[in-house]
A = this chain, B = another copy of it.
Amino acid sequence: MSKTYDKAHELKQALAEDAAFVQLQDLHKQIAADDIARKMFDNFRKLQMSLQQKQMQGMDISPEEAEQAQKQFELVSQHTLISKLMETEQQMSMIIADVNKIITEPLEEIYGHLAEEDE
C-alpha cells in the first residue's frame, strides 16, 4: 500500500479520536436513546432536507414554509442535547472543510497555475 493510503488511514484514525467527533458520536447515541429528542430531531432534519431539495431544484420556498422551519429551529434549539449536537456538527463541518482544503492544496497549485497561464 502506498504512503498516501497509509496517511489517509492515519488521518481517519485521528478524526475518529478527535474531541469533536467523539462528542458528536456521544450526542448521537444519547439522542437515539431518547424517544422525544430523536423524534424532534428527525422531524427537524426531514423538514430541513425537504427545503434544501426544493432550493436545489430551483423551487420557491413559501413564507409559510420558511416560518415553519424557523419555528422548528427555535423549538429544537431549546432542547439541550439537540442544540449541543447542532453546535458539534457545525464544528465537525469546519474541521472537515479545513482538512479538505489542506489535502487539496497540491492539486490547487497545479490547476491554479494553469488558470494563470490563460490570462
> In the complex, which residues of chain B have a beta carbon less than 8 angstroms from the beta carbon of A24?
110
Q: Are B18 and A4 in contact (CB under 8 A)?
A: yes
**Interface SS of chain A:** helix
Measured CA separation A25–B108 after assembly (Å) = 11
Measured CA separation A96–B42 after assembly (Å) = 32
Complex copy number for this chain: 2
Number of interface residues of A (CB under 8 A): 41
> In the complex, which residues of chain B have a beta carbon less than 8 angstroms from the beta carbon of A32?
113-114, 117
With most chain B CB atoms within 10 A of its CB, the pick from A2, A8, A98 is A8
Q: How far is the CB of A87 from chain B (nearest CB, A)?
A: 16
Residue of B nearest to A9 (CB): B102
Contact of A14 among B7, B42, B114 (CB under 8 A): B7
Q: Are A21 and B106 in contact (CB under 8 A)?
A: yes
Chain A residues proximal to chain B, CB less than 8 Å: 2-19, 21, 24-25, 28, 32, 38, 42, 92, 95-96, 98-99, 102-107, 110, 113-114, 117-118
